[in-house]
Each structure stands twice: as structure tokens, then as C-alpha cells.
């Protein structure tokens, strides 16, 4: 039996894939959930793909102190995945910022008390590309939280900065994984999460036109492998790794891939940007997408290949696998 690993947000789309990868590699896994009902459904979902005899759950909420010390007990590593992600712009940005920032502080404080060796946090490329129109960004770049970058990007940027500050001089090592837009089949086939919801609306024909959005993308199975690899790779300590295609991939490209794969209801008409901006005045989801409309930012992911030995899954495969899983 390998070491014990805590996964926060284990019931989510990415969290479940990480749990599967850890169990597959022989780790003992503890997952935090906000309700024990979530533990049952997550366990059932994972049991459909892997043995769950080394999987346990602890109830813990990012906004409360209870449960975190119990969750960390005996853990060598922590994978902090939990953070709310919604594309729709909330009425109050603190709905996203507070759980992301306060939750990160709470997790790190408990990990330090438990003597955890290494913390790997799931950040996002939105903590580096926010506010940029074009050009190329790397691990040394940060989004400008004083610009209108959207509540999600702001929450993740602030949370990651807090994490680096909190782990700066201690004995616990930290690594940040920065995924792009994440696609791929959900475990158990349930369409949960923002990317699954978007693909669902595309294949059901409920998205009339495709907005002009393009960004670095990644397969959820790759994210799981990279996170687990980051736990024990010596050279990874203290680094940020971009887990996304170096060139931005457009939603229109995804639409055409799905159309060619036989999903006939997928639209392939481009939505005029001015129309999306007008919609954003009264539609929170459209408002959430306006900070990235028409932007084309490339990414420097070289260290992810060199240090974490990343072998990317083609995004076309990710999209088709996801669409088949959520439509079956």
C-alpha cells in the first residue's frame, strides 16, 4: 500500500478522475465531501470503474473549520481540487471568491498541522490569461485582478496567490496544476460540471450559435495523471504547470468535430460577438463569457512535458468521448 492522499472536492468531475488514478496506482484515498449523500453517489460511481476498498470519505466544507483535521490525519499528500466553477457571472463575485480563497487557507492550515509533505492545488489557466487579448503566457504570468476578468478567474487567481504565500517558508512543498478548459468522459456518465453542460446543450441542439471563444484545452484523464505525477516528482516542487494545449482551440472547432462524429443537432454558425455582448446585459451566462470573447492567448506548457512527462490526449478524442458518455 502506497501513502495516504487527501482529495478535496472528490465528488466533482475532475476529483473523481483523480481518485480513480490514485486508486489505480495503489494509494489510499480520503475524499472530502460537503454531504455524506455525495459520498455514497461518488463511491458508487467510482466502484463502476475501480475497486474502492481503499477509499474513505470525511465531511468537510471549505467555509467551515470542522472535519479538516480529521480528513488530514495520516495523509502524506493533499490534492486540493475543490472550488466552485460556474460560467454564469454571480450577482456577487464573493459567492465564488470566498470559498476559493478562504477554503484554500483552511486546507493549507490543516495540512500544515497534519505535517503533510506536499500539496498539489488545481488552479486554472484563467489565473494567468485573464485580461490578456493575445500573445503567449507562461507559468510566470498572472491575471490582473483589477481588470474585468470575471468572478471565476478572479477567485482562482486570488486563491492560488494565497496558496503560494501560505506555503512560502514552511516545510510543506507546493505544486500548482493549471488546466485549460477540461473535456473528456465523466466517470459514471453523469453530465455534471460546466464543460459537460456545455457539450450537452451543443449535442441537444439547444445552443443556437457558437460564441467566438477559443482557449487552451485538456483531457480530464490527462489532468488526473498530471496531478498524481506531481505528488512525487522531485523537480515539480515550487512550480506552476500549464495543463492545456499551447495553441487556443475554438468552440467552433469542437462543434465541427462533434458534427463529423454524427451529432447532427450541433450548430456550426458563429454567434456575432456584438450579439453575445448585448445578451450579457440580461443573461448571466453570456456575461460570464464576455471577458474571453474573441481572445486568442497561446500558452507555454514546455515544463509540463519536460518535468511531468505529459503525453496529451488529442482534444478531438476528448470531445467525442465526452459526448458519447453523456448522451448514452
> If pLDDT is split at 50, 70 and 90, which confidence band does 139 have?
very high
Determine the pLDDT at residue 206.
85
Neighbours of 206 (CB within 10 A): 10
Orientation angle between helical segments 251-260 and 315-327, nearest 10 degrees: 60
> If pLDDT is split at 50, 70 and 90, which confidence band does 191 have?
low
| Phi, psi (deg, nearest 5) at residue 271 | -80, 125
Determine the pLDDT at residue 23.
98
> If pLDDT is split at 50, 70 and 90, which confidence band does 60 have?
very high
Determine the pLDDT at residue 288.
61
Residue 280: pLDDT over 60: no
Determine the pLDDT at residue 193.
73
Residue 277: pLDDT over 80: no
Domains of the chain: 4-185+217-246+298-312 (3.40.50.720)
> If pLDDT is split at 50, 70 and 90, which confidence band does 229 have?
very high
As a whole number, mean pLDDT of residues 156-179 equals: 95
Q: Quote the CA–CA distance of 27 and 21 in Å, as a whole number.
A: 9
The burial of 6, by beta-carbon neighbours within 10 Å (0-12 exposed, 13-18 middle, 19 or more buried), is given as buried
Asked if 132 and 295 touch (Cβ cutoff 8 Å), the reply is yes
User: What H or E segment, with its residue span, contains residue 94?
Assistant: helix 94-113
> If pLDDT is split at 50, 70 and 90, which confidence band does 153 have?
confident
Determine the pLDDT at residue 169.
85
Alpha helices in 114-186 (DSSP H): 126-129, 151-166
Determine the pLDDT at residue 201.
86
Instruction: Name the E strands within the chain.
Output: 4-8, 28-33, 55-59, 77-80, 118-122, 136-137, 173-179, 181-183, 214-215, 217-219, 240-243, 249-250, 298-299
Q: Which of 92-101, 152-161, 167-176, 227-236 has the lowest mean pLDDT?
A: 92-101
> If pLDDT is split at 50, 70 and 90, which confidence band does 293 have?
low
**CA 66 to each of CA 61, 110, 113, 125: distance values in angstroms, whole numbers, following the listed order:** 8, 10, 14, 31
As a whole number, mean pLDDT of residues 160-179 equals: 95
As a whole number, mean pLDDT of residues 78-106 equals: 80
Query: If we measure between CA atoms, which residue out of 233, 232, 225 comes closest to residue 307?
Result: 233
Determine the pLDDT at residue 212.
87
Q: Quote the CA–CA distance of 267 and 311 in Å, as a whole number.
A: 31
Q: What is the pLDDT of residues 243-275, one digit of tens each?
A: 999 999 999 999 999 999 999 999 888 876 677
As a whole number, mean pLDDT of residues 121-129 equals: 94
Query: If we measure between CA atoms, which residue out of 149, 73, 62, 145 comes closest to residue 106?
Result: 62
Determine the pLDDT at residue 282.
62
Determine the pLDDT at residue 150.
83
> If pLDDT is split at 50, 70 and 90, which confidence band does 93 have?
confident
Residue 118: pLDDT over 90: yes
As a whole number, mean pLDDT of residues 187-199 equals: 78
Query: Angle CA(22)–CA(17)–CA(139) in degrees, nearest 5?
Result: 90
Query: If we measure between CA atoms, which residue out of 50, 258, 260, 62 comes closest to residue 155?
Result: 62
> If pLDDT is split at 50, 70 and 90, which confidence band does 46 have?
very high
Strand 4-8 with 77-80, pairing: parallel
Determine the pLDDT at residue 272.
66
Determine the pLDDT at residue 235.
98
Determine the pLDDT at residue 115.
96
Q: At 304, list the grid cell.
A: 509540463
As a whole number, mean pLDDT of residues 189-205 equals: 80
Determine the pLDDT at residue 87.
55
Neighbours of 244 (CB within 10 A): 27
Amino acid at each position: 500500500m502506497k501513502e495516504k492522499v487527501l482529495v478535496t472536492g472528490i465528488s466533482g468531475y475532475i476529483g473523481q478522475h483523480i481518485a480513480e488514478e490514485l486508486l489505480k496506482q495503489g494509494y489510499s484515498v480520503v475524499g472530502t465531501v460537503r454531504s455524506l449523500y455525495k459520498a455514497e453517489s461518488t463511491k458508487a460511481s467510482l466502484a463502476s470503474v475501480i475497486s474502492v476498498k481503499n477509499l474513505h470519505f470525511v465531511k468537510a466544507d471549505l467555509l467551515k473549520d470542522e472535519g479538516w483535521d480529521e480528513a488530514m490525519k495520516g495523509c502524506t499528500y493533499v490534492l486540493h481540487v475543490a472550488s466552485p466553477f460556474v460560467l454564469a457571472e454571480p450577482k456577487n463575485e464573493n459567492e465564488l471568491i470566498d470559498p476559493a480563497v478562504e477554503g484554500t487557507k483552511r486546507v493549507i492550515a490543516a495540512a500544515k498541522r497534519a505535517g503533510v509533505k506536499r500539496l498539489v492545488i488545481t488552479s486554472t489557466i484563467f489565473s494567468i490569461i485573464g485580461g490578456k487579448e493575445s500573445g503567449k503566457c507562461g507559468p510566470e504570468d498572472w491575471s490582473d485582478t483589477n481588470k474585468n476578468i470575471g468572478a471565476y478567474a478572479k477567485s482562482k487567481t486570488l486563491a492560488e496567490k494565497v496558496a503560494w504565500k501560505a506555503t512560502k517558508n514552511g516545510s510543506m512543498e507546493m505544486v500548482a496544476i493549471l488546466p485549460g478548459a477540461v473535456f473528456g468522459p465523466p466517470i459514471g456518465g453523469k453530465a455534471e460540471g460546466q464543460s459537460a453542460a456545455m457539450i450537452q446543450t451543443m449535442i441537444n441542439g439547444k445552443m443556437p450559435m457558437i460564441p467566438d471563444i477559443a482557449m487552451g484545452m485538456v483531457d480530464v484523464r490527462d489532468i488526473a495523471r498530471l496531478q498524481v505525477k506531481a505528488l512525487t516528482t522531485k523537480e515539480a516542487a515550487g512550480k506552476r504547470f500549464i495543463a492545456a494545449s499551447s495553441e487556443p482551440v475554438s468552440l467552433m472547432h469542437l462543434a465541427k468535430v462533434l458534427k463529423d462524429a454524427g451529432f447532427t443537432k450541433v450548430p456550426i454558425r458563429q454567434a456575432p460577438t456584438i450579439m453575445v455582448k448585448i445578451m450579457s446585459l440580461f443573461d448571466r451566462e453570456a456575461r460570464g463569457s464576455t471577458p474571453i470573447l474573441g481572445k486568442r492567448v497561446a500558452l507555454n506548457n514546455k515544463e509540463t512535458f519536460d518535468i511531468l512527462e505529459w503525453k496529451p490526449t488529442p482534444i478531438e478524442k476528448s470531445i467525442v468521448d465526452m459526448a458519447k458518455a453523456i448522451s448514452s
